[in-house]
């Protein structure tokens, strides 16, 4: 099976679900890693590893969805519940600009009172105050929630947010794009078809997005493979995904509990993503959840990007995982692995190499 899969990959032919499942369950880690590394080298022959200087601003921790895997959310009546003021958000973005940052990754819980006008006004002011920062914000679940609160069709809500200054969407909230799993771990969140509908609408508007996967939440190998193929099929429609980012579920302080996926499991999923997603240019290593050394190893298992510097991160930290890397440390991480670091924009234009 391995040799026939390798021949298909070398011939530029896409794999099927059966082959993907065999790679995940039957292939040895190093054999799969070698296939993924070969794909990465063909797609990125310049031997560059990119990153973006960004900040993750969580505008609220209030969330009505209350996913079982999340340690970050709070009920609206909880003493730790908060909503950041515009002034607080502007202060955080100013710190980002002062450090040469170019991307604002703003996400939060599904707050029961924050309607479209709150976000429109915020984005207009952000664009006016910080024209060099790309507003890469709001997951599909947030878009759907804002639309429902505002009694608008999702497509109209997204178009208005785009007009107000929202430039691209992160792929958060994908978890596993199989509704049986979503019903078990996040029964109050949108289904996979709604997630896909938001991404289609964004791509139709010319808004680039990323795609993600959080695995290790009781799904089966077949579910991981199905998730990847659904991403590949969506990408074939308009090509709007700039990158794919898989990470493992962090069980600390969550209702769901359980064990974290191993490093071997992470590398297998990452490598499989690189092999299957032949129409997605970039695969991102998640140092935020895996740590610096595992992210460095991931560069030889298909990853070509180290994500963002994340001057602030609260969601994963709430689960007790608090890996931090400065820009200098990311540069050193890539260099010491034998790659040329490159600072990029949200849309993967290279700004500077080191």
What confidence score (pLDDT) does residue 51 get? 96
pLDDT tens sequence across 301-347: 999 999 998 776 555 445 444 446 888 999 999 999 999 999 999 99
Mean pLDDT within 36-40: 98
The percent of residues above 70 in pLDDT, for the chain, comes to: 96
Distance CA 285, CA 303 (A): 6
Say what the pLDDT of residue 326 is.
Answer: 86
Per-residue exposure over 220-250, b if at least 16 CB sit within 10 Å of its own CB, e if not: ebebbbbbbbbbbebbeeeebbbbbbbbbbb
What dihedral angle (degrees, nearest 10) is formed by the CA atoms of 330, 331, 337, 342?
110
Q: Assign residue 303 a region: left if phi > 0, alpha if psi is -120 to 50, beta otherwise?
A: beta
Cα–Cα nearest to 231, from 247, 243, 219, 216:
243
Helices (H) and strands (E) in the chain, counts: 14, 10
What is the C-alpha separation between 259 and 174, in angstroms, rounded?
20
Q: What is the mean pLDDT of residues 196-213?
A: 98
* 279 within 8 A of 347, measured Cβ to Cβ: no
> pTM of the prediction?
0.94
Token pair in block for residue 181: 């799993």
Tell me whether strands 103-107 and 134-135 are parallel, antiparallel or unpaired.
parallel
pLDDT in tens, 179-188: 999 999 999 8
Dihedral of alpha carbons 136, 239, 219, 275, sign: negative
User: CATH number of the domain that 141 lies in?
Assistant: 3.20.20.70
The DSSP bridge partners found for residue 152 are none
Tally the domains of the chain.
Answer: 1
Model pLDDT for residues 109-127, shown as the tens digit of each residue:
899 999 999 999 999 999 9
- Give the structural domain span for 191: 2-353
Averaged pLDDT for residues 196-209? 98
Give pLDDT, residue 320: 44
Residues in the chain: 354
Lowest mean pLDDT among 29-38, 170-179, 253-262, 272-281: 253-262
Which residues, 6+ apart, have CB-to-CB distance to 130 below 8 Å? Answer: 93, 94, 97, 104
Q: How far is the C-alpha of 5 from the C-alpha of 28, rounded, in Å?
A: 14
Separation between Cα atoms, residue 176 and residue 66, nearest integer Å: 17
Q: Report DSSP state, residue 146.
A: H
Q: Is 62 helix (H, G, I), strand (E, B) or coil?
A: strand
């Amino acid at each position: 099976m391995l040799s026939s899969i390798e021949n298909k990959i070398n011939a530029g032919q896409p794999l099927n679900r059966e082959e993907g499942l065999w790679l995940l369950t039957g292939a040895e880690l190093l054999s799969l890693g070698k296939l993924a590394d070969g794909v990465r080298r063909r797609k990125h022959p310049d031997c560059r590893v990119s990153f973006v200087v960004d900040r993750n601003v969580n505008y609220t921790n209030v969330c009505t969805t209350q996913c079982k895997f999340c340690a970050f959310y709070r009920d609206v009546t909880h003493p730790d519940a908060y909503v950041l003021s515009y002034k607080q958000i502007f202060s955080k973005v100013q710190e980002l600009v002062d450090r040469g940052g170019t991307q604002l990754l703003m996400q939060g819980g599904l707050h029961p009172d924050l309607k479209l006008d709150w976000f429109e006004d915020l984005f207009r002011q952000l664009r006016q105050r910080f024209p060099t920062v790309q507003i890469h914000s709001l997951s599909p679940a947030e878009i759907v929630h804002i639309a429902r609160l505002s009694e608008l069709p999702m497509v109209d809500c997204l178009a208005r947010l785009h007009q107000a200054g929202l430039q691209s969407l992160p792929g958060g909230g994908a978890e596993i794009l199989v509704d049986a799993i979503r019903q078990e771990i996040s029964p109050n969140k949108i289904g996979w078809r709604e997630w896909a509908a938001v991404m289609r609408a964004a791509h139709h508007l010319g808004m680039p997005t990323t795609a993600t996967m959080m695995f290790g939440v009781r799904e089966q190998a077949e579910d991981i493979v199905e998730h990847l193929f659904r991403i590949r099929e969506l990408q074939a429609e308009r090509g709007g995904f700039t990158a794919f980012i898989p990470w493992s579920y962090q069980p600390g302080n969550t209702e769901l509990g359980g064990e974290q996926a191993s490093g071997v499991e992470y590398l297998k999923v990452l490598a499989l993503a690189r092999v299957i997603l032949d129409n997605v240019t970039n695969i991102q290593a998640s140092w935020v959840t895996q740590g610096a050394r595992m992210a460095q190893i991931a560069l030889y298992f298909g990853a070509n990007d180290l994500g963002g510097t994340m001057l602030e991160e609260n969601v994963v930290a709430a689960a007790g995982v608090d890996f931090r890397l400065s820009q200098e440390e990311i540069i050193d991480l890539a260099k010491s692995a034998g790659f040329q670091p490159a600072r990029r924009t949200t849309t993967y234009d290279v700004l500077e190499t080191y």
